[in-house]
């Protein structure tokens, strides 16, 4: 997001939380133009200060405890940050800015839909679909979604919610399954690790490229009015499919000899299948995608092969 906004000559402020957060140095090294503000989504006073300091015209709330598995282990923290944090931020905008001059993007999520049999539209989930979240993360995000809509309706604020399906890429954390797989395949290829340990392999996800989705988020805030939009690829594939494409791209052949399973990576409740329908974003915003799933896998595998090779030759 920062990279995209800087390319459009925005003055970008980024909020970083925590004392001695190692991600801060990485952010400052990669994006020296971004002005860093220390604040925490659970601290309303810090958010008021962040709004005062930055005097924003656009606010993108991408802050969250965002890992589904982690949210089962830290459900209260997830509720505080991912749910109530949205309220704290909206209040900060109301207190410290003229809310009629600020546009707010709320990162809602396909995890709000849940993928259960009774609630699985054939053409994919759209903006009208029912919500039935299956994790503390999904439940907290649903609160964020509704409080954002409530502030739009109550105070006439420009608050738009992007209901984004899984978006991946070179910056995805290795705790998420796509990056875990592409990084492991690169390391297996280079002889740096023997195998890969995963949880369930049958769930299906609608995976797209994060860079495309960032454009969609921005387009939502340039639209004439605040609204909700689904961003998705419109196709779905299983973890097994992702493994096949990855191992093919890395020229490793069949993935099965390399993959082990461990219940530690399985969740107390699973979202079996996610498929989104981005028709509204396509027609209203003119949003589109630059790569399909194979293209996404290829760029992630190529990136990880180069990165792992560079790291191992530097060591
Ligand atoms: P999510 O869709 O936001 O939960 O994104 P993830 O990338 O964390 O998980 C996608 C799917 O991969 C879920 O159905 C997980 O249960 C499944 N999965 C299987 N093995 C793993 C693993 O080792 N790590 C993660 N993160 N997910 C896994």
Q: Give 174-233 pLDDT, tens digit per residue.
A: 999 999 999 999 999 999 999 999 999 999 999 999 999 999 999 999 999 999 999 999
Report CA(201)–ligand 1 centroid distance (Å): 9
With 90 as the cut, is the pLDDT of residue 62 above it? Answer: yes
- Indicate if the pLDDT at residue 241 is higher than 90: yes
pLDDT of 257 reads: 98
Rounded to whole angstroms, what are the CA distances from 252 to 184, 188, 189, 299? Answer: 12, 8, 7, 16
Q: Is the pLDDT of residue 308 over 90?
A: yes
Q: Whose CA is nearest to atom 13 of ligand 1?
A: 203
Spatial distance between the Cα atoms of 242 and 211, rounded to a whole number of angstroms: 19
Mean pLDDT of the region 136-151: 98
Q: Whose CA is nearest to atom 1 of ligand 1?
A: 68
Collapsing DSSP states into helix, strand and coil, what is residue 176?
coil
pTM of the full predicted structure? 0.97
Atom of ligand 1 nearest to the CA of 109: 3
Residue 315 has pLDDT above 90, yes or no: no
pLDDT at 311: 95
Residue among 66, 67, 68 to mutate when testing ligand 1 (max atoms within 8 A of CB): 68
pLDDT score recorded for residue 141: 98
Query: What confidence tens digit (pLDDT) does each residue in 251-287 have?
Result: 999 999 999 999 999 999 999 999 999 999 999 999 9
> What's the Rg (C-alpha) of the chain?
20
Cα distances from 198 to residues 172, 195, 271, 273, in angstroms, run: 17, 10, 16, 17
What average pLDDT does the chain have?
97
Q: What is the DSSP letter of 82?
A: I
């Amino acid at each position: 997001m920062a990279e995209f906004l800087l390319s459009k000559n925005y003055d970008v402020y980024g909020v970083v939380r925590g004392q001695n957060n190692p991600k801060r140095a990485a952010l400052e090294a990669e994006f020296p133009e971004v002005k860093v503000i220390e604040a925490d989504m659970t601290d309303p006073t810090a958010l008021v200060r962040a709004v005062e300091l930055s005097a924003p015209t656009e606010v993108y709330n991408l802050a969250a405890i965002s890992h589904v598995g982690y949210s089962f282990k830290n459900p209260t923290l997830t509720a505080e940050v991912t749910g109530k944090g949205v309220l704290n931020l909206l209040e900060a905008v109301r207190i410290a800015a003229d809310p009629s001059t600020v546009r707010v993007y709320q990162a809602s999520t396909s995890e709000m839909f849940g993928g259960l049999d009774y609630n699985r539209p054939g053409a994919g989930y759209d903006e009208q679909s029912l919500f039935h979240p299956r994790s503390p993360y999904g439940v907290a995000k649903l609160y964020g979604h509704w409080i954002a809509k409530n502030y739009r309706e109550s105070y006439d604020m420009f608050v738009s919610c992007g209901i984004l399906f899984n978006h991946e890429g070179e910056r995805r954390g290795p705790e998420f399954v796509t990056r875990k797989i592409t990084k492991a395949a690169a390391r297996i290829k280079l002889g740096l690790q023997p195998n890969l340990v995963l949880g369930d392999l049958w769930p299906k996800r609608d995976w797209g490229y994060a860079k495309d989705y960032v454009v969609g988020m921005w387009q939502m805030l340039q639209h004439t009015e605040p609204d909700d939009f689904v961003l998705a690829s419109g196709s779905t594939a299983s973890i097994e499919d992702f493994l096949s494409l990855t191992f093919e791209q890395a020229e490793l052949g069949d993935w099965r000899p390399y993959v082990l399973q461990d219940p530690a990576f399985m969740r107390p409740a699973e979202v079996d299948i996610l498929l989104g329908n981005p028709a509204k974003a396509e027609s209203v915003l003119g949003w589109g995608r630059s790569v399909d799933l194979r293209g996404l896998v290829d760029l992630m595998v190529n990136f990880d092969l180069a990165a792992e090779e560079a790291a191992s030759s530097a060591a």
